[in-house]
Every structure is written in C-alpha cells, then in structure tokens.
C-alpha cells in the first residue's frame, strides 16, 4: 500500500504522521470510548447522531486502528533494518587501497553473499569470485572488469571510482612484477 493511502486513517484517528504509536493508540482508545460508550460529558452532542451513524463512525475508527497498527509495525521493522545496516556499516574497516581481498572483507562484514550481489548487479558470479580472489589471468578484458567492479562496489556502497582505480593499480603492479 502506498504510504499516502494511510492519510485517511491518520485523519480518522485525528492524529498526524509524526504521531508516535502510543499517541495513535491513545487517540484510538479515546475516540472508541467517545463514540461507543456514551459515558463522557460531551456524549449528549453525539447522541444527536443516529445509532447507525454512530456505528459507522466506530467502524471507521476500528478500521483505521487496524491499518495503522500494521503501518507502525512495518515502520518499526524498517527502522530496525536501517539501524542494523548502519551498525554494520560502522564496522566496515577502511582500506588505503581496495583490492580483491578488501572487497571480500567488506562484503563479509556487511553480511552479503556473492550470490546476492550477482543477482542484484547482474555480474556473473564466476567473475565476482575471480575479482575477489584476484585471479587476474581469468578475468575478462579491462572494459568489462571496469563495469563489473563499478557494479560490485555500488552494491557495497563504496566509492566506485576509487575501487576501479585501486583495483587496476594493484593489477598492473602485479603484472609488471611478473615481467
């Protein structure tokens, strides 16, 4: 459900989007009491409504509460998720130069499987494995490596340009070392 579709439920419970879950619940309890129990001093004004109309209002209040309860639960889960990601990100070690080994370590800290990155980025799994293990001889031509590295780095929320530059530097150093 689109989040703006919840607007009418906030309106029904007479609260706003920045209200907390407790505020929402309290407002619900008060309104339910107001329109169904007729025991508040203001009740004479409400009794002017037909029983049918009162029931309709109560029904709408109940529906709004049920929907918003789910809304707040989802929001809570989302918050937990972002919080977890934030904590994981803070644990990511910093590297002067990012090579295959560094990529692997960062990925592990973030708790992401290579399969998932392959799925999300469209980079074939075997290339991702070879990138991490720095099996330069098995990698495709440079232009592909560059694209794959960028996609890989993006999945790990890293600076894509830095990753490409670092990786190529290490690769060239390695190759010139052999010669």
110 binds other proteins (CB under 8 A): no
Provide the minimum distance between the beta carbon of 68 and other proteins in the complex, in angstroms, as a whole number.
14
- Taking the CA atoms of 151, 157, 160 and 163 in sequence, report the sign of the dihedral they define: negative
Distance CA 140, CA 63 (A): 58
Single out the residue of 2, 4, 50, 179 in contact with other proteins (rule: CB under 8 A). Answer: 50
Nearest to 173 by CA among 165, 158, 163: 165
Site for other proteins in 25-44 (CB under 8 A): 26-27, 29-31, 34-35, 40-42, 44
Helix (H) or strand (E) holding 4: none
Closest approach, Cβ 82 to other proteins, in A, equals 25
Kindly state whether residue 46 participates in binding other proteins, applying the rule CB under 8 A.
Answer: yes
Contact 178, 154 (CB under 8 A): no
Q: Which of 8, 17, 53, 75 binds other proteins (CB under 8 A)?
A: 53
Q: Which of 9, 15, 64, 123 is in the footprint of other proteins by CB under 8 A?
A: 15
Evaluate whether 67 touches 75 at the Cβ level (below 8 Å).
no
Residue 45: CB minimum distance to other proteins, A: 6
Q: Does 19 bind other proteins (CB under 8 A)?
A: yes
Q: What is the DSSP letter of 57?
A: H
Burial of 109 (0-12, 13-18, 19+ CB in 10 A): middle
Distance linking the first and last C-alpha atoms of the chain: 61
* Beta carbon nearer to other proteins, 26 or 160: 26
Q: Is 45 near other proteins (CB under 8 A)?
A: yes
- How many residues bind other proteins (CB under 8 A)? The answer is 24
Report if residue 64 touches other proteins, rule: CB under 8 A: no
Instruction: Show contacts with other proteins in window 81-100 (CB under 8 A).
Output: none
* 48/87 with CB nearer other proteins: 48
Distance CA 139, CA 60 (A): 62
């Amino acid at each position: 459900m689109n989040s703006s579709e919840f607007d009418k439920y906030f309106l029904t419970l007479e609260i706003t989007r920045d209200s907390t879950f407790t505020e929402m619940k309290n407002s619900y309890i008060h309104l339910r009491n107001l329109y169904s129990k007729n025991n508040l001093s203001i009740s004479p004004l409400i009794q002017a409504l037909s029983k049918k109309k009162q029931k309709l209002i109560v029904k709408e209040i109940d529906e709004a509460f049920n929907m918003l309860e789910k809304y707040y639960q989802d929001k809570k889960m989302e918050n937990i998720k972002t919080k977890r990601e934030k904590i994981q990100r803070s644990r990511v070690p910093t590297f002067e130069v990012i090579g295959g080994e560094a990529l692997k370590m960062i990925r592990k800290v973030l708790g992401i499987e290579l399969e998932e990155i392959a799925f999300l980025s469209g980079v074939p799994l075997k290339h991702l494995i070879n990138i991490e293990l720095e099996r330069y001889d098995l990698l495709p031509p440079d232009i592909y490596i560059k694209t794959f590295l960028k996609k890989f780095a993006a999945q790990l929320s890293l600076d894509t340009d830095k990753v490409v530059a670092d990786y190529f530097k290490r690769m060239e150093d390695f190759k010139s070392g052999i010669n």
